[in-house]
Amino acid sequence: MTFGSRLHEAIQSRGRLCVGIDPHPALLDDWGLTDSAIGLERFAMSAVEALAGAVSVVKPQSAFFERHGSAGIAVLEKVIEGCRDLGALVLLDVKRGDIGSTAQAYADAYLTPSSPLAADAMTVSPYLGMGSLDPLIDAARLNDRGVFVLALTSNPEGPQFQHATTPDGRTVAATVLDAVATLNAGAEPWGSVGVVVGATIEETAVELDVNGPILVPGYGAQGGTTADIRKVFGSAARHVLPSSSRAILSAGPDRRSLHQAALRAAEDLADLDR
């Protein structure tokens, strides 16, 4: 099955919540853990055991593992394997983007089944040009994996690039969204190339339906609500994969509390399908 098909099926059976595992130092401290590889592993694996059996997608933020060096990467490998064992798809949040052989190396690391860091999908940056993503998109298609392309993010610095106008009058964000829609043309039920659009970008005239999944960070602790999703995405809301990290993880370290927090968020998001 393609990634788009597997994600669509997972959402049908487990709901559309994506839970981020972002081991911030402050969260480790809140859980009574040290900011170390040992604390990282206890935090991350507790989250996996509490959440990966209940949600459709888990999204580890690679940077918070990388900051602990090789020991942190080893924990990330365990997180990916643990999520897979419990039936959740893994979306690795790495936001990689480069050209030529370097882009291919990223594809080998994150989208090739033989790699210990291989995930079901990864986040990528298009700001060296959409063509720079070709090795990643090709690897995703070859291995039935997915990529999520940054398009319209909620951070205040984003509009400087994303809202800039190209010679044909479109914004940069619109060109990214159009390119992804072209890549997904004709795919059923969804294409395997997604986009990243913030939950709090407010209404936009840009077409957000790319016939593929839309990762929507900012739901929960950053203020995004189901009402915001309906307002911003309109008919494209059926493709939305809202992501929540702190709002879920702050319920820890008790695993039952983490599990219940995820179930409550998933139930809230079920309103998008009604």
Residues designated as active site:
95
Element (H, E) at 39: helix 37-51
Beta-carbon contacts of 71 under 8 Å, excluding residues fewer than 6 positions away, are 37, 40
Note whether 20 and 243 are within 8 A (CB).
Answer: yes
Q: What are phi and psi of 193, to 5 degrees?
A: -105, 115
By C-alpha distance, which of 116, 93, 107 is closest to 22?
A: 93
Q: Which helix (H) or strand (E) holds 186?
A: none
Evaluated on CA atoms 149, 151, 156, 161, the torsion sign reads: positive
Contacts of 216 (CB under 8 A, 6+ apart): 196, 197, 198, 199, 224, 229, 233, 240, 241, 242, 243
| Distance separating alpha carbons of residues 122 and 119, to the nearest angstrom | 7
Helix, strand or coil, per DSSP, at residue 119: coil
Cβ–Cβ < 8 Å for 92, 123? yes
CA distances for 134 relative to 34, 77, 109, 113, 272, angstroms = 40, 25, 15, 18, 33
What is the number of other CB atoms lying within 10 angstroms of the CB of residue 132?
18
